[in-house]
Structure 1
Amino acid sequence: MSLPTSAPAETATPGGAADHPAISLRGLRKTYGDVVAVDHVDLDIADGEFFSMLGPSGSGKTTVLRLIAGFEQATAGTVELGGSDVTRSAPFERDVHTVFQDYALFPHMSVLDNVAYGLRVRGMKKAERRERARQALETVRLGHLGARRPAQLSGGQRQRVALARAIVLQPRVLLLDEPLGALDLKLREQMQVELKQLQRELGITFVFVTHDQEEALTLSDRIAVFDAGRIQQLGTPREIYENPSSAYVAGFVGTTNLFDAETSQRILGVAGEHAVRPERLRLSPGSDTETPREGEVRLDAVVVETIYLGTGNRVHLRTSDGVELVALEQSTGSLDTREHRGEDVTVRFARADVVPLSS
């Protein structure tokens, strides 16, 4: 069941506000004394986009989210929502809603009343707000649990109640601050699928903050990778993973083999820093004395460690001149899962799979 379509005119997507990005940040800066938390961020997030801000703790991503929500005031720069400048507007004056990691449900209220609470604050009549809350619970597949208390729900169910409480208000933008961080791995993976499906059904702009690179790659239409208060790279998950712009992005988003300038010159015969993903490396037992094929790099190495992953093996290697490498071999790969430490192997990868990195 979908939510009612009687949203305020300013949240409608045809024409009007949809001609502007859902969120536009220009020269956004936030300092706390001498500490620069956000350093001149320029960013447009499209209407209906699932956008992730990815980075480690202290990278600035959560502060940007709080600046969008209005929980923090910018030191400099502007925040626009649908073309309207809300930089100095209070949180309740912004057409956004935030879902936090701790859910913040009222334990003494039923699930239905928790979802309806925001509509109650807005003064909506009881019958209408309860109907809207029921529809929101149906949207997150919890329509049968409206009479329960939060303590009677699982972690995943409480997370979906928090989502229902947000979407019942029909915000233009939904901000999610690491909402899956408290869930176990299996439940987190399930919720990732449900979040993506829900976002597509609703068409609401989702802005998702996470430090989990796999989560960002799984969910997002686009990703901004943060470090030191700045966006280090902005692009689709495929662009971020396959063409990282720097050693920082290559190292933070997934596992990679980084070659510094000296190693690149020695192994690849080219200047500058480079990277190649572990799944691009092919391994075969023993040393191969044949001349490498055109467009191929071939190295002699020894197995340092083989770690079984279920779907394959992560193989840690050391080349004859001391370069540390990691390869990922699928279960059908040529390197048997019983390979022991110390065995000689030949490493091959295509030059086309090597990505140049900016300094």
Structure 2
Amino acid sequence: MSTAAPAIRLTGLTKTFGAVNAVDGVDLDIAAGEFFSMLGPSGSGKTTVLRLIAGFELPSAGTIELFGHDVTGTAPFDRDVNTVFQDYALFPHMSVLDNVAYGLRVRGVGRSERRERARAALEKVRLGSFGDRRPAQLSGGQRQRVALARATVVEPKALLLDEPLGALDLKLREQMQVELKEIQRELGITFVFVTHDQEEALTLSDRIAVFSDGKIEQLGTPTEIYEQPRSPFVAGFVGTSNIFDDAASHSLLGRGGTHSLRPEKLSLTAGEQSAPAVGDAGAGERRAHGTVAELVYVGSSTRILIDLDAGQRVVVVEQNDRHRGTTEQRGRRVTVAWRDSDLVALPDRSHAPDTPVPGIP
């Protein structure tokens, strides 16, 4: 990470609405040129932080710096950032080219220059031949790219994106995730991306801040967030985890504390390989016997819920690299095994999200 001043620095950032602390003392540095995501459930504070950075809300306490300048009380139009919203907010009566050029027009840029810059912006989002069309003649993904072009044509130092892919269907959203990352790399500017979609954050981000109750629960790279969650909340919210409380850890793992184990880290074999029901399997592995309770087919993989004889329910994820008949497998006896090195010890400082049955969305 560069030692230069961060693109965005938040210090003690707080926002209250009545008795509610929507943002509660957030400290955060976002580097220049970084694709940074703020991830969390509804009401976690991520969108409020974005609005504070944009200037649409003023903080109750704390400071906001953009590229070394304190902009805490500065109006939105005097901040060197731009925002892309979920609904795109394109002008339906204007052509695509005029929509993109609108921000330059407001800034007093001459007609010839603004149209030239708007065409160049459309080329960057691969819509160079669409300038004469109206927004109604475009697909959802194309409108999203027009909104990106309009936001970037004024050359902001940072772009704020408030769940811009949320209105798209799954296939188009996955396509746009790839395109959005490519556009960010080409432009080389800071992207701050708000989403509640864990997979989206993992796919796009250089770093992720996971929000809960107005605070940052964990900050790190996608790999760090997924492989080394630091609380039960992060382990349960980002992907799916088998979370074992102190009693379950003693029973299954032979140790106390709270632990997380990702479903894909578990292996499954038919039948009871050996007794007792729970124990060491050698070479740093452990295993437990159980019964298949349910199977959930999700295309590329199957989520298998196992009721262990020790009293816990776990979920195992297996790739569908061969035919799997789900009906006849319910009720069969199996042995579940895992490596001790795949266990993540969790502090008991946070709550787990409301997911009573692992593996079932």
Normalising by the smaller structure, the TM-score range is over 0.9
Alignment-derived partner of residue 160 in structure 1: 145
2:312 pairs with 1:318: no
CA deviation map 1:247-275 (0-9, x unaligned):
00000000110000111111111111001
2:46 pairs with 1:61: yes
Alignment-derived partner of residue 125 in structure 2: 140
Give the 3 Å change call, closer, same or farther, for CA 283–336 of structure 1 in structure 2. farther
Alignment-derived partner of residue 46 in structure 1: 31
State the 1:333 CA deviation: 7.2
Equivalent residues of 1:284, 1:345 under 8 A apart: yes
C-alpha RMSD of matched pairs (Å): 1.5
CA distance in 2 between counterparts of 1:334 and 1:244 reads: 33
Three-state SS of the structure 2 residue aligned to 1:19 is coil
The counterpart of 1:294, out of the listed 283, 299, 324, is 283
Alignment-derived partner of residue 94 in structure 1: 79
State the 1:336 CA deviation: 6.4
Of 262-271 and 146-155, more deviation after overlay is shown by 262-271
The counterpart of 1:82, out of the listed 63, 67, 72, is 67
Three-state SS of the structure 1 residue aligned to 2:74 is coil
Equivalent residues of 1:284, 1:334 under 8 A apart: no
Letter in 1 for 2:152: I
Where do 1:220-299 residues align within 5 Å? Answer: 220-289=205-274, 292-299=281-288
Alignment-derived partner of residue 207 in structure 1: 192
Where do 1:156-195 residues align within 5 Å? Answer: 156-195=141-180
Three-state SS of the structure 2 residue aligned to 1:332 is coil
Where do 1:333-348 residues align within 5 Å? Answer: 339-348=328-337
Three-state SS of the structure 2 residue aligned to 1:135 is helix
Equivalent residues of 1:55, 1:225 under 8 A apart: yes
Give the 3 Å change call, closer, same or farther, for CA 208–105 of structure 1 in structure 2. same
Equivalent residues of 2:296, 2:304 under 8 A apart: yes
Identity of aligned residues (%): 66
Letter in 1 for 2:334: V
Letter in 2 for 1:101: Q
Equivalent residues of 1:306, 1:339 under 8 A apart: no
Three-state SS of the structure 2 residue aligned to 1:224 is strand
Alignment-derived partner of residue 22 in structure 1: 7
2:288 pairs with 1:303: no
CA distance in 2 between counterparts of 1:221 and 1:150 reads: 32
Of 303-312 and 187-196, more deviation after overlay is shown by 303-312
What is the TM-score normalised by the length of structure 1?
0.93
Letter in 2 for 1:203: G
CA distance in 2 between counterparts of 1:336 and 1:112 reads: 53
State the 1:321 CA deviation: 2.2
The counterpart of 1:352, out of the listed 336, 341, 350, is 341
Equivalent residues of 2:251, 2:310 under 8 A apart: no
Runs of 5+ consecutive residues of structure 1 not aligned to the other structure: 1-14
Equivalent residues of 2:252, 2:310 under 8 A apart: no
